[in-house]
Every structure is written in structure tokens, then in C-alpha cells.
Amino acid sequence: MGKTYAIIGGGGSFGIHTALYLLDHANPKKVIGIGRNPMREEAFTLNVDKRPGYEYHARHITYELDLLLELLDKEKPDVIINYAAQGEGAVSWKHSWRFFETNSMALARLSEELMKRDWLERFIQIGTSEMYGSVDHATAEDEPIKPSSPYAASKVAFDMYLMSVHKFLKFPMNILRPSNAYCPGQLLHRVIPKAVLCGLTGQKLPLHGGGGAEKSYIHARDLARAIYMTAEKAEFGKIYNVGPALPTSIRDLVAKTADALGLPFEQLCEMSGDRLGQDSRYWLDSSAIKRDLGWEPQISLEDGLKEMVAWGKQYLPQIRGVSTDYVLRG
């Protein structure tokens, strides 16, 4: 029998796709999802909670660290994968301390406790490509740090913490910095599921700044495969970018989504003003993880968008009335 994996932030769509990937490919002893909320409806959980070998627990990493540690001490996971974070750089200019409360302080408190446990084999932190800021070239892992939002700065702080405790205290960690991930079940304030919902319900998607910003998009299943390969083969302390070779403009992304929906581009979107702190280009050099672990993305953006449209059609009755606004919570 294989390892026990705990996925913190496991109630989110990326954590759910990681759980599904591990259940399908890792022959795990158990996969434990841990999130701050009870499980959502099927459109967002994709029935992961019905899978043998999976269980889910609601524990809040910031306000229930004692209960989270009780659970971890009971289950003794070999590998902990952390997605837990206050996300959304665009909204982090207000209540910015909340981003540091979770993304830096809560995770440092957790990690300090984990260093006392001898059952932990590896801790994998899911970082962010936003820490490199806007770039004009593919950025490698040693790129100077240029966070352009309080969110990105809070994620950088914990990365730096992990690097120091690995170097001096031998904490068995790795950091993955993925490009923008997407997947079926993703919350509807994100651009791809929001575009799919708009297309299926006859609404217009606001295209901020005309969609000129360029970002790199990766399917959450490709990210999950990178996590599994890291858990199995990576040297401790290694940091890896995880993304496609080239970025895609938001305009092109929406145009590809319109194609997947079978709609004219002009019917799907309308132009709107740009967002505060919007970086003009995220672009990752992911050659290190390809060289060391043999990883590269396998799911094309076109195939991934077809999957998103199929998900939207299947669950349209469930998602039609769900808010597309981002709500900040502790």
C-alpha cells in the first residue's frame, strides 16, 4: 500500500483535482482533503467525496490550528501538500493584513509544529508565479523577486521562510510555483469558468483592459502530476516553476473559450477598464522541472477549454445562480 497524502486547502478545485489524480495514479493508502468550509455541491467537488480512499475534514488553518494538528497527528500523512491561501491579488489592496495572516503567519505556525513530527516525509508548498511580477522574458526560479500586490508579497514571505528552515533546520520541503491554473469545478470569479457561464447563459464577460494582459494557463491535472512527481522524485529544497512554454493574452484566452462554446468572440465579451496592479505578462521558464523530473504539460489549452465547456453544460442548473464575485473571508 502506498502513502497517505494530506491536501490542505483541499476543498478548492485545485486540491480536489490533486486528490483525484493521486487516487488514480499514486496507489495511495489514503488521500485526506482539509479545507476551511464543508464540502460544496457536486459541480465543485466532482464527486471526489464518493471515491474510496478519500475523506474530507473541515479545519481552518488560521483559527483552528490546534484541531488541524490533532487531525494530522492522528492520520500521520507522509506527504502534506499545501494550497491553503488567501488568493486574488487584485483584491489584496484592501484588508491586506488578512493575506499575511493566512499566507505567511498561519503557514509558518503550522510548519514550526510540523518540524516536531517525525512522521512527515515531505511538505510541498504551492506558491505563485505572481511573485516575479510583470516580465518580458521567461522567468527561471532564481529570477529577482518583484511582487506587485500584497497577495504576492505574502506568498513570497512564506517561500523565504521555507527556504531558510530547509537550509538550516533541514525541513523536508519543496515549492512549486505554477502559472494560472484552471479546471472543472473552479469558482466562478475566475476568468475561464466565468466566461463559460456567460457564454452558456447569454451574458457578456467584462474584458478588463481589452484583454491585453498575458498570463500562462495550466490545467490543474497537469499541476497535480507535477506535484506527484515532486513528491516521488524531487530533491528536498528544490523550487520549480510549473507552466506552459508560452503565455496567452486574456483576449486570446476568451477567444479560444468562445470557439469552444461555438460562439462569436464579440457575442461573449465586452471591454472594461483595467484592474489595479494588473501585471502585463506572466511567463515562466519551467525547464528545471522538465530536466530534473521529466515533467511538461500534456493538456493543451484547446482541449482543456473543451473540458470546461462540457463541465459547464453538465452542471449549468447548479452553477447558473452562483455568484461570480470574489468574497474575502478570514
Is the backbone of residue 170 left (phi > 0), alpha (psi -120 to 50) or beta? left
Tens-digit pLDDT profile for residues 199-228: 999 999 988 766 788 899 999 999 999 999
Domain ranges of the chain: 4-181+217-242, 186-215+246-280+301-319
CB 295 within 8 A of CB 247: no
Give whichever of 90-94, 111-115, 245-249, 273-277 has the largest mean pLDDT: 111-115
What pairing do the DSSP bridges indicate for beta strands 173-178 and 239-242? parallel
Q: What's the chain's average pLDDT?
A: 94
The share of the chain scoring above pLDDT 70, in percent, equals 95
Residue 155 to residue 153: CA distance in whole angstroms: 5
Tens-digit pLDDT profile for residues 279-309: 578 899 999 999 999 999 999 999 999 999 9
pLDDT, position 325? 80
pLDDT, position 323? 84
pLDDT average, residue stretch 110-119: 98
Residue 134's pLDDT band, with cuts at 50, 70 and 90, is confident
Q: Where are the alpha helices (DSSP H) in 216-275?
A: 220-233, 250-261, 265-268
State the DSSP string of 106-141: IHHHHHHHHTT-SS--EEEEE--GGGG-S-SSPBPT
Fold entry, domain 4-181+217-242: Rossmann fold (3.40.50)
Beta-carbon contacts of 41 under 8 Å, excluding residues fewer than 6 positions away, are 318
Tens-digit pLDDT profile for residues 25-55: 999 999 999 999 999 999 999 999 999 999 9
Residue 295 to residue 80: CA distance in whole angstroms: 20
**CATH placement of domain 186-215+246-280+301-319:** 3.90.25.10
Tens-digit pLDDT profile for residues 135-183: 889 999 999 999 989 999 999 999 999 999 999 999 999 999 999 999 9
pLDDT, position 277? 47
